[in-house]
Amino acid sequence: MLKTDLRKKYIQKRKALSVDEALLLSEKIRESFLNYFKPLAGEKIHIFTPIEKFREINTQSFIEAFLVAGIRVFVPKVVGDHLISVEIFPNTEFETSSWGISEPVSNEDSGEYHFDYVITPLLYCDQNGNRVGYGKGFYDGFFQSISAASKKIGVNYFNPDEKIDDVWEHDIPMDYLVTPTEVLSFFSGVE
């Protein structure tokens, strides 16, 4: 299927989830992530904050668990036409952007480019790790600016059942996909 068709299909599938279903599936994804990757204190995780009206994976419980465990947490913030990475702490102040995203008030880019994990929003991911996002290209640009050793991990409510037919040469695939029922590895690098 083409990205535009997959985008429409999976936006509709998300809308069909109740708030309670989305929260339950988000918790299953969080548990799968923690059990599979076992992140450690001092590691660096870049993780998105969800757009609630789009029923994105609720990552608030991920963030809370990471901070309690002493993991360094970074979140994206759109500044101008690109994504910066802001390190957050338990007392970080947030505000809601015009896109409905909870972002740190600070515009200070951490300058960090090596993350142990980059937990990435997506609408769909296929069996090859190719992702469909909202089509703005923020994450493709972000992926080009970080260390290739950073593990790119997509999270999704749905398993990869369809192939993306219009993958572009500049698309950067995920290394892993975490769903409520499984963790798939597309990672071809040396661990």
Annotation-wise, does 142 bind a ligand? no
**Does 55 appear as a known binding residue?**
no
Residues recorded for the chain: 191
Q: Rounded CA gap, 45 and 37, in Å?
A: 12
Per the annotation, does 3 bind a ligand? yes
The answer to whether the annotation marks 157 as part of a ligand binding site is: no
5 assigned binding-site residue: yes
User: What is the DSSP code string of 10-29?
Assistant: HHHHHHTS-HHHHHHHHHHH
- 48 among annotated binding-site residues: no
Is 133 annotated as ligand-binding? yes
The residue to which tokens 């597309």 are assigned: 186
Task: State yes or no: 134 annotated in a binding site.
Answer: yes
On whether 132 is known to bind a ligand per the annotation, the reply is yes
> Which token pair is 119?
């937990």
139 is in an annotated binding site: yes
Q: Is 138 annotated as a binding residue?
A: yes
Q: Angle, nearest 10°, between helix axes 60-68 and 19-37?
A: 40
Is 111 annotated in a binding site? The answer is no
Q: Is 30 annotated as a binding residue?
A: no
Name the nearest CA neighbour of 125 among 91, 173, 187: 173
In angstroms, the CA 174 to CA 118 distance is 10
Distance, C-alpha 68 to centroid of its chain: 20
Cα four-point dihedral sign 76, 78, 84, 87: negative
Binding site for substrate: what residues are annotated? 56
Binding-site residue set for ATP: 3-7, 131-139
- Binding-site entries: 3-7, 56, 131-139
